[in-house]
Structure 1
Amino acid sequence: MFQSNLYLCTPVKINPEKSYYIVGFEPNASMKYIHHMILYGCLVPGRAESAWNCGEMAQLDYNKDSANPCHLGSTILYAWARDAPKLELPEDVAFKIGRNTKINYLVLQVHYNQAEHFKNGMTDNSGVYLHYTETPLPKLAAVLLMGTSGFIPAGSTESMETNCVINEDKVMHPFAFRTHTHNLGVRVSGYRIRIINDKEHWTLIGQRDPLTPQMFYPVEKNMIIQKDDMVAASCKMDATKKDHYTVVGPTGEDEMCNFYLMYWVEDSSPLEQQYCFTSGPPYYHWRQQFHNIPFSETIEYRRKYD
């Protein structure tokens, strides 16, 4: 039965004897009914059924018959929200799935935000069309997801912040980014941090208002991210109109702070690292670790209410 804030997952098995190269994603969905969709690559899906109740990342309601999108080998390939348009990857760039990868299944997670559309027996065909080729391409794409846990006090503004060191000896070429919050997000930013002569050098990867279409946007400038660099993200949240605190969680009444970094590597496999999360406020802030934070990240940022 459909209900508000229902997460449903459905799998597609990939021929393990063939390699496929995804070069584009074309969503078929409306934000009127759907909060977001995430396409995962899995070694083993969360369940064997044609559809099951699944939670946002690992946050599940264990009182129900639910499971994660992936049981083994979870990889994020694509995410959509707020009527974002289709995404075409740059020339010679593709997500490789199937043979000689850890992706034997595609699993689409759909978060339905309300059920009125289905009460009279209507069905739903929301999903993502994949554009692919079987011709090998030299640049393999991947997604690094940055985010936080934590909570936001009532009547306040808050900055939710995360960062991680890149420990793998590979050269990442960022080409697109996507931001995601729920209703309190005002601005989401992503950075590369490089230490030169003991000084932090911050380079903006991308910055958006997360309440605009949550598509993948081009990065601000050509750059590379390599071993010993750091990646970082922040979400400016405005809870000045809220009369109770807000936690990070899966429902529309909760919040999220996500920055998706899409990149490619040449003549190599993508990073094993796929996630970069901190405990978030009040437990973690950049100021506990850094001394050269961009000024725009140190000031309060309030939404302009009508």
Structure 2
Amino acid sequence: MEVAHIEKLLLVILLFAQNAISNEMKKFSMLMPNVHPNRDELYLCTPVKVLPDKSFYIVGFEPNATMNTVHHMILFGCTTPGAKREFWDCGEMATGVNSHLPRAQPCAEGSHVLYAWARDADSLELPDDVGFQIGIGTQVQYLVLQVHYAHKFPDTFVDRSGINLIYTQKPRSKLAGVVLLATGGTIPPHGITHMESNCVINEHKTIYPFAYRTHTHSLGKVVSGYQVKRDKFGYDEWVLLGKRDPMTPQMFYPTFSKAPIKYGDVLAGRCTMESHRDRDTFVGPTNNDEMCNFYLMYYVDGDTPLNMKYCTTAGPPFHYWANTKYHFKNIPDIDASNLNTID
């Protein structure tokens, strides 16, 4: 299908494939277009072009999928999609895989994570007057849905999994954003490994956290995220933002703290991994690999979201909280890896 036809089709979809929920709110179903996963561990992406002369505010997400079919889904906002096709192979870290589809990243430019889902997670409704702004005046000119299919489908089966987006054109005074804390690294066999990330807020903005989500594959035991407040005397206050067993539904949960996070504060994440395998496990996209992700959803009041969308570190054995340039004090080593310490 030619690119020009795809562009036209996507505009028509967004104009007419919407259901009114109220006079203000509408629903748009962003679904896979009857795809047939023909191999295990397949990542597929499908795009929608946002109307170029309008601004929209996404205020809720309703997953339309089950973990029996889909391993996980991520909704990206992009300035330019990875491909201008109905769908494509977007297994970002997979190499040497035979496929009849072209391969590309979810986004070619301006990648933002807006939402992620796994393990039969429930819907998410944003707080009052909070929304993800997309369209005119923003970097989000396309929405791209990425779906990870862990297993190939029987010959005659197709899939329309996806996400229902609740949106409005009424401006929100509080704009939402997401920061993804993640690591690379290696998990040795027969032991416990900490995978740790940290980044300083170096923009003169104040963000207000309200939801978090954890994600690992099968080795994750605990994922925790913190705001580290630093003072000139070298004291670090570790404020717990969220902590969870990543084997529970991987939805966005309310943050433990809603205190503002400011310039100079540090965001820090840890995944506690336990391996009984006889081999090293590396960070990668399949169930034989691992991931360490802590998503922090926040809003800004009367400002624009952070330019920082991703916070990544090399992970073990190269990067740990204890050996960073920040010289952290008062590291909550037990609390960060112990679910029993949750009040």
Same fold (TM over 0.5): yes
Partner of 1:153: 188
Q: CA deviation at 1:227?
A: 0.4
Contact 2:121 2:249 in 1 (8 A): yes
Partner of 1:95: 132
Question: What is the RMSD computed on CA atoms of the aligned residues?
Answer: 1.4
1:129 and 2:164 correspond:
yes
1:260 and 2:295 correspond:
yes
- In structure 2, give the amino acid aligned to 1:233: G
Q: CA deviation at 1:295?
A: 3.8
Partner of 1:185: 220
* Distance of aligned partners of 1:92 and 1:298 in 2 relative to their CA distance in 1, 3 Å threshold: closer
Partner of 1:304: none
Partner of 2:199: 164
TM-score (norm 1): 0.94
In structure 2, what is the Cα distance between the partners aligned to 1:63 and 1:147?
25
- In structure 2, give the amino acid aligned to 1:283: F
Match of 2:105 among 68, 77, 102: 68
Partner of 1:44: 80
1:227 and 2:255 correspond:
no
1:110-150, CA deviations, whole angstroms, 9 ceiling, x for partnerless residues?
A: 000112xx313121110000000010010000100001000
Gaps of 5+ in 1: 302-306
Match of 1:198 among 234, 242, 251: 234
In structure 2, what is the Cα distance between the partners aligned to 1:291 and 1:284?
16
Q: CA deviation at 1:6?
A: 0.1
In structure 1, what is the Cα distance between the partners aligned to 2:337 and 2:64?
38
SS of structure 2 residue aligned to 1:34: coil
Partner of 2:177: 142
Q: CA deviation at 1:60?
A: 4.0
Q: CA deviation at 1:195?
A: 1.0
1:184-204, CA deviations, whole angstroms, 9 ceiling, x for partnerless residues?
A: 000000000011221111000
Q: CA deviation at 1:3?
A: 1.1
> Runs of 4+ in structure 1 displaced over 4 angstroms?
297-301
Q: CA deviation at 1:299?
A: 6.8
* Distance of aligned partners of 1:32 and 1:157 in 2 relative to their CA distance in 1, 3 Å threshold: same
Q: CA deviation at 1:225?
A: 0.5
- In structure 2, give the amino acid aligned to 1:291: K
In structure 2, what is the Cα distance between the partners aligned to 1:182 and 1:36?
10
Match of 2:310 among 255, 275, 291: 275
TM-score (norm 2): 0.84
- In structure 1, give the amino acid aligned to 2:332: P
Aligned-residue identity in percent: 52
Gaps of 5+ in 2: 1-36
SS of structure 1 residue aligned to 2:71: strand
- In structure 1, give the amino acid aligned to 2:124: L
